Chain A
Amino acid sequence: MMSELMVESNQLTKYFNSLLAVDKINLEIPKGKIYALLGPNGAGKTTTIRMLLGLLKPSSGSVMVNGKSVSDDPKSIRGEIGILPQFSAAYYDLTPMQNIHFILELNNISYDDVSASLAEYFRTLDISYELLNKPFSKLSGGEQRSISFIMAAITNKEFLILDEPTSGLDIARAKYIRSIIKYLVEQQGKTILLSSHIVSDLEELADYCGILKKGKLIFQGRKEEIIELYAPDTQDFEDAIVNAFGVKTTNSQTFMGGNK
């Protein structure tokens, strides 16, 4: 499918006791691109991400991340991937600044080396100095998400996994986060695995898509291909995703028979 791959899995499978969470998926994420991992709730996205991070051991199959076999040696990948988890990534009792310092120290990054970038992040996402010194718990949901995003981005990893990066953000901050993501890929050559349910994010950002359904990877390819395959009539990306998920987009599926 693609030339140089950041992630390559082979028949990757995960069982939780008898529950099949991920079913023999062959994921291929090219370097320097944004790959959107999509799927309805419970499709296996988080489990897949955790296997890429080396946090979960596959039941069978293998996965390589940046040339390293994560399934054979999960330790090899630790600290190599920047992560924005679905839920907050920060300590609520520490201030945003203390949280950022912790992530920098954990990744052996000097604050002085990234202070200019941080200032730019704060300016772009409208994070004031006052806000940075409040307890994280006192911040609004959008502010918390923005700080968590900065904590992932500032680690300067080649590969970033962003789970719902714009969830809970206001329109302006969501727009700026998208622009930062594009900048990280286009200007810094980073690879991003994006998991999101927000169609505008996916439409604007995704180069490639993978669709998981009940643990199976039912589609993997360029964004244009998913439209051709699942919504040839409407040429609408949202329709294509909904169709791929297996929900019919007839009027009977809309609320009270109204417009979709």
Chain B
Amino acid sequence: MSKEEKRPKQLKALLKKDLKLLLRKRVAIFVFGGPFILMFLLIGLPSLFSSQQTMVLLIYSDDSDYNGINIGASVLDNITYYFSFDPSIEVVQNVTSFSEVKATDNFGVYLPSNFSLLTFTGSPIYFTVDATQSLFSESIFNTIHAITQNVIATVLANRTLPVIQTIEEPPTSLPEEQLLGPKAAAVAMPLSYMIFLLIALNSGSYSNIGFAREKRMRTMEILLSYTKKHSHLVISKTITSLVASLGSTLSYILGIIAATSLTGAGTEGIFEIFGLNMQLLNAGDIIIIFIFAVTALLISTLITMAIDCNITREASERLSPLLSIGLAMFFYFVALSNPLSASTTLVINPFYWCYRLALLLISGKFSIEIIIYLSLIIGLGGLLIFFATRGIQKEKSLYLE
């Protein structure tokens, strides 16, 4: 058997062993079952008690017509129509008096008796929403306010009751969005979340399958003695780590799907969970998103491994997840604040390189920026593999425990 034939077999043997260690009961439950159980408990369990009750919105108009036009009634018609498409809001209930609105814990909208008059005279109008200060109720308030404003504007312009209709308006474009386009805008937040999630889920599982564990189990000597090409050790661990992380992510998604199915709301799948707008994106865009999310994950694994192979076991077990998650968190929060802008604070963050490159490719803006980020990713990947392999070959991997 020649060496060339033997080497891939060694990689296969290493990979088989690493996957077996990953799939052993204790680790598999933690890596593949953990995210499912966690999401199921976090989302599904509370929903058993609360989310099946959809929110009730009470509306009441005391308004009488003015010049033959009753704007209050039109506003209520529009509100009823609007929320009839929202599964989280139960059909709007008309009540017969304001005291009914006050007597309930439900959200309520009250329009005063002189609403039409005030509208035509241009006086300030108060319509009451009995809402808490939560973001959710605030958003309902804003919606109702917007509906009311639209109705009033239409009535004042036409002096007739408006026809109820659904209007879809494109979101206001930011300068960055105008540069990168709506597709990149649609991908930005989901992609940054996906990268953060993959890395966060990866860091927990790596300690169970990485080199730190081989050092702890004192199996490094055997691995190093029998393996012809030490880079195969790094490749095998990297592939196993990717499998673990993707498995964890799948488990996380399944957990959400299972949990939301309990609520009756039902999540349609991976794209909805990550907030991907499938009407805007095509298969090629999804492939790019997947490739760069996995690339970010790969870099995270290689960072962990390079640290793992070059410093003491105890230090690496603490430092590598810290560094990986730290970089991912920093990237995520900066990206959240300004998702489409080129960030100088993230310029040395490899996860940002993956993110930015994906956005540029999806937007079709082929520029020097693409070549720079691509070179940086490839260069860093090669460097990390080199450091990991070199670390293994040095006495550090045997003595620095």
Contacts and interface: CB of A to CB of B under 8 A. Distances in A.
Interface residues of A, number: 30
Interface in B343-383: none
Contacts of B26: 93
A36 interface: no
Contacts of A87: 218
The contact size tier of chain B is 20 to 34
B217 A92 contact: yes
A75 B7 CA distance: 13
Contacts of A102: 13, 16-17
B242 to A, nearest CB: 21
A108 interface: yes
B228 A94 contact: no
Interface in A41-87: 50, 53-57, 74-75, 78-79, 81, 83, 85, 87
30 contacts: A16-B395, A16-B399, A53-B221, A53-B225, A55-B395, A55-B398, A78-B227, A78-B228, A79-B6, A81-B225, A83-B221, A85-B218, A85-B222, A87-B218, A89-B221, A91-B217, A91-B219, A93-B21, A93-B24, A94-B17, A98-B20, A102-B16, A102-B17, A103-B226, A106-B14, A107-B226, A108-B6, A108-B9, A108-B10, A155-B226
Contacts of A117: none
B17 A78 contact: no
A90 interface: yes
Contact of B228 (A79, A85, A98): A79
* 5 pairs of A and B residues whose beta carbons are closest in the complex: A105-B13, A87-B218, A106-B13, A102-B17, A93-B24
A94 B221 contact: no
Interface of A: 16, 50, 53-57, 74-75, 78-79, 81, 83, 85, 87-94, 98, 102-103, 105-108, 155
B21 to A, nearest CB: 6
A159 to B, nearest CB: 11
A227 to B, nearest CB: 33
B284 to A, nearest CB: 39
Contacts of B14: 106
A103 B219 CA distance: 12
A76 to B, nearest CB: 10
Given A102-B17, A108-B6, A83 B225 contact: yes
B219 A89 contact: yes
B217 A105 contact: no
A92 B27 CA distance: 13
Contacts of B20: 94, 98
A85 B221 contact: yes
Nearest to B395: A56
Given A50-B221, A55-B221, A78-B228, 16 more contacts: A16-B399, A50-B398, A53-B221, A55-B395, A78-B225, A79-B6, A79-B227, A90-B219, A93-B21, A93-B24, A94-B20, A94-B21, A102-B17, A105-B12, A106-B226, A107-B226
B288 interface: no
A75 B21 contact: no
Interface of B: 1, 6, 9-10, 12-14, 16-17, 20-21, 24, 26-27, 217-219, 221-222, 224-229, 393, 395, 398-399
A94 B226 CA distance: 18
Nearest to A87: B218
Contacts of A108: 1, 6, 9-10
B103 to A, nearest CB: 63
Contacts of A81: 225
A56 to B, nearest CB: 5
Contacts of A54: 225
A53 B395 CA distance: 12
Contacts of B9: 105, 108
Nearest to A102: B17
Contact of B218 (A55, A57, A79, A88): A88
Nearest to B208: A93
A83 B222 contact: yes
A105 B225 CA distance: 14
A98 B21 CA distance: 11
A90 B214 CA distance: 10
Contacts of A88: 217-219
A66 to B, nearest CB: 14
Q: Which of B6, B218, B225, B226 has the most CB of A within 10 A?
A: B225
Contacts of B393: 74
B395 to A, nearest CB: 5
Given A50-B398, A83-B221, A90-B219, A78 B21 contact: no
A94 B24 CA distance: 8
A176 B222 CA distance: 24
Q: Which of A54, A57, A75, A102 has the most CB of B within 10 A?
A: A102
Contacts of A16: 395, 399
A55 B24 CA distance: 29
A102 B27 CA distance: 19
Contact of A105 (B16, B218, B395, B398): B16
Contacts of A79: 6, 10, 225-228
A93 B209 CA distance: 12
A237 B75 CA distance: 106
B16 A55 contact: no
